Amino acid sequence: MDDDSRSFDEQALWAALALELLAKAAVARVSPLLIAEPNEEGTNLLIASGLVEGEARFTSVRAKTLMARCHKAFKPFDQAEAMKIINGRDEYLHSSGTGFMAIPPHSWWPRYWAQAAVLVTALDRDMEELVGTTREIEVTKHLEHNAKNIEQRTEALIERAKQRRQQWLDGSLPAKVAAEWKSAQYLSASMSHSEAATCPACELTGLFEGEEAIAEEIHYPRFGGYTDEGESYYLDDGSVSLTISADYFSCAGCQLVLNSYELIRQAGLPTEFDAEGDFDDYQEPEYGND
């Protein structure tokens, strides 16, 4: 964070390395097994679990896997934003790409600290403990700037969707924009779970989508008794109720797309929805004696 002695590239490099360490610390605080790279012999997992003692070390998971786990475990950590930081680091170290310069410093730092702050919270620590008292003020300014960006971005997306729909209704939509108008099928992110929801821009029916089940409730079949022939029967079938994290929203009526948890939350939409799971996926396997 020393502007007078380090270039932005060097600052961003150390910051990106620190972000990965923070992510490992946050996940490992739950269990070291979550950062151990699985292998056929299970050595990494055995070491991480403490079953293999001594000087043994285990290989940790790749950054992409790590960020995906943080995205699922620590809302509103944004995997896509974090990977932009990690990819910038890799380009800077290993290729002739733009590295960190793809995003200007005044935008890069607010986005960086937004992700770092989530991980610091996941560690049950304060930002002051990471950067010190004097620098905490600077980090707070970056966080406030990022929050304002999300607010402005959400407002801009909703207002543009309203404008676009009105132009479409009036028949004044420019030909190029009209040609880009997409059906609900092509707006979809094709995620595993979805649910209809009211659009915040046009109040028509849009679509929530998500992959991650953050809660599940299993309803087992109720035993009804036996038939006259001695066969058992059940009053109903088994079912599974899932609570899904809302990671994507789209509306074919006005072409609004909110493609992150933070945008959905800022728009005042629910950040989770209910879905039905496959009961067969939750049944215990039957084991034979052979």
Residue 109 in this model has a pLDDT that exceeds 90: yes
**pLDDT value at 141 more than 80:** yes
Q: Which residues neighbour 11 within 8 Å (Cβ) at sequence distance 6 or greater?
A: 1, 2, 3
- Residue 21's nearest CA partner among 126, 119, 135 is 119
- At residue 175 the predicted structure's pLDDT band, cuts being 50, 70 and 90, is confident
Q: Mean pLDDT throughout 119-129? A: 89
Tokens of 46: 């055995």
Write down the pLDDT at residue 98. Answer: 64
- Is the separation of the CB atoms in 37 and 61 below 8 Å? yes
Question: What phi, psi does 205 have (nearest 5°)?
Answer: -90, 120
- What's the confidence (pLDDT) of residue 15? 95
Beta bridge partners of 260: none
Residue 57: per-residue pLDDT: 76
User: Long-range contacts made by residues 233-238, C-beta under 8 angstroms, separation at least 24?
Assistant: 237/279, 238/279, 238/283
Q: What is the mean pLDDT of residues 155-172?
A: 90
* Residue 201 near residue 251, CB atoms below 8 Å: yes
Which token pair is 139? 């980090």
Tell me how far apart the alpha carbons of residues 158 and 278 are, in angstroms, rounded to a whole number: 35
pLDDT per position as a tens digit, 1-56: 877 778 888 899 999 999 999 999 999 888 888 888 887 778 878 888 888 776 66
- Residue 189, pLDDT score: 93
Question: Is 70 exceeded by the pLDDT of residue 96?
Answer: no
Report the percent of the chain where pLDDT is more than 70. 89
One-letter amino acid identity for 148?
A: K
Asked whether the whole model's pTM tops 0.85, one would answer: no
Q: Say what the pLDDT of residue 273 is.
A: 95
pLDDT at 287 over 80: no
What pLDDT sits at residue 32? 87
Task: For 219-273, write each residue's pLDDT tens digit.
Answer: 777 666 677 677 776 666 778 889 999 999 999 999 999 998 889 999 999 999 9
> Residues 6 or more apart from 246 whose CB is under 8 A from it?
208, 209, 210, 261, 264, 269, 270, 271, 272, 273
- Report the pLDDT value the prediction gives residue 49, as an integer from 0 to 100: 84
Please, which pLDDT band fits residue 112 given cuts at 50, 70 and 90?
A: very high
Query: Which pLDDT belongs to residue 13?
Result: 92
pLDDT value of residue 207: 96
Indicate if the pLDDT at residue 288 is higher than 60. no
